Structure 1
Amino acid sequence: MGKVHTGDGWIVRVQGNEHPPVHVHVLHPDGKAVIDLDGSINNDGVPAKVIKQALAWVLDHEEVISAECSRMNNPTKR
């Protein structure tokens, strides 16, 4: 797993062997969420305040996320 950001009690990561579209996983003690680079959100228990912070980070760091996604999903670059 490629951890790309750590917030206050939550993390954003990219996983290998993933499906399109490019997205991140947000992990929090209360739940998890998936955020696509287009801003779509599938939330399962992550507090709204954390989703807002994570979404802002994702939208501001699309290049970092895309690069890590490419690295994690290309076996020769892992």
Structure 2
Amino acid sequence: MPTFHRFDGFRIEVRSRDHNPPHFHMIGPDFHALVDIRTLQVIEGTYTRPALAETLAWAAGRAEALLAEWRRLNERD
């Protein structure tokens, strides 16, 4: 899967052929959560509080880029 960003100990992925709503995956050694790109709310999964805080701070200024990547990878006819 394409890694969109890598933090110390976990990564952000935007996947192709994924389901709505537009979201990204926050993946660490013992957690995996889906985060809605538009609202930055956790849709499902587990996470650590520090990882979520770091991710949300990072994603807040990158929502347009994340959404553009999600759309590029998930174009539907």
The verdict on a shared fold, with TM-score over 0.5 as the criterion, is: yes
Deviation, 1:40, is 1.2
CA distance in 2, matches of 1:36, 1:5: 16
Distance 1:61 1:13, change over 3 A: same
Given the two structures, how large is their TM-score scaled by the length of structure 1? Answer: 0.83
Give the root-mean-square deviation of aligned CA atoms.
1.5
SS of alignment partner, residue 17 of structure 2: coil
**Percentage of matched positions with identical amino acids:** 28
Provide structure 1 residue ranges, at least 5 long, that are not aligned to the other structure.
Answer: none
Matches within 5 A, 1:57-68: 57-68=58-69
Number of residue pairs matched by the alignment: 74
Shift of 1:34: 0.8
Extract unaligned runs of 5+ from structure 2. Answer: none
Q: Displaced runs of 4+ in structure 1, greater than 3 A?
A: none
